[in-house]
């Protein structure tokens, strides 16, 4: 496994050197590309859009607001990572581990989440519209206010999940209720 230090800048360097094909260990790293914007808020200057990072290790990394759109992160380990407001739109996270990750406000629309493990993760207010969540594990995950409309929820694991205020396509209502998640908990059903 390539270990390209603990900074995210190194991933860009690794890409230039040809080691960004996967198996990169960024466990515990923080985002170095931070600069204040015109309003004084911190703004990310790095982008991982369209990168190939299969089987990479992001365990406990601080990746708030990163852009991973259209990236191949299949098999990646994001256990305990701070991914709040990060953009994973149209990426491939097949078989990724997101156990206890913070994905509050993350963008996951159109993403492939087949067999992704979100056990204990916080996906509050996440946008997961039109994603393929087949066989994804949301055991004890928080999905409060998340938008799962038009997503494929075939054979997902929802034991102990909190879907209060989540938006879900009506076609999954029977499936979700059979899993013990009651519509009385404030799920918003859409056509």
DSSP state of 23: -
For the segment 27-36, the average pLDDT, to the nearest whole number, is 45
Q: Check: CATH 2.60.120.10 for 1-33+44-191?
A: no
Structure tokens at 15: 């890409």
CB count in 10 Å sphere of residue 69? 19
CA distances, 50 to each of 36, 72, 123, 184 (Å)? 25, 7, 23, 40
Counting every residue, how long is the chain?
191
Q: What is the pLDDT of residues 114-144, one digit of tens each?
A: 999 999 999 999 999 999 999 999 999 999 9
Q: Which residue has the tokens 């204990």?
A: 120
Convert the pLDDT of each residue in 154-163 to its tens digit: 999 999 999 9
pTM over 0.85: no
Domain ranges (residues) in the chain = 1-33+44-191
- Asked if residue 126 lies in contact with residue 146, where contact means CB atoms within 8 angstroms, the answer is yes
Cβ-count burial of 173 within 10 angstroms (0-12 exposed, 13-18 middle, 19+ buried)? middle
């Amino acid at each position: 496994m390539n270990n390209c230090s603990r900074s995210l800048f190194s991933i860009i360097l690794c890409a230039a050197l040809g080691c960004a094909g996967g198996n990169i260990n960024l466990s515990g790293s923080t985002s170095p590309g931070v600069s204040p914007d015109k309003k004084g808020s911190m703004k990310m200057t790095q982008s991982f859009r369209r990168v190939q990072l299969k089987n990479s290790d992001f365990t406990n990394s601080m990746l708030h607001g990163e852009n991973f759109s259209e990236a191949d992160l299949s098999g990646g380990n994001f256990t305990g990572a701070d991914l709040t407001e990060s953009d994973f739109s149209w990426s491939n996270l097949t078989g990724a581990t997101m156990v206890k990750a913070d994905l509050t406000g993350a963008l996951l629309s159109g993403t492939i989440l087949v067999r992704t493990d979100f056990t204990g993760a916080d996906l509050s207010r996440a946008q997961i519209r039109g994603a393929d969540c087949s066989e994804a594990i949301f055991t004890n995950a928080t999905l409060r206010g998340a938008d799962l409309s038009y997503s494929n929820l075939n054979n997902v694991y929802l034991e102990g999940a909190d879907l209060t205020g989540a938006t879900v396509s009506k076609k999954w209502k029977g499936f979700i209720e059979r899993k013990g998640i009651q519509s009385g908990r404030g799920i918003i059903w859409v056509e």
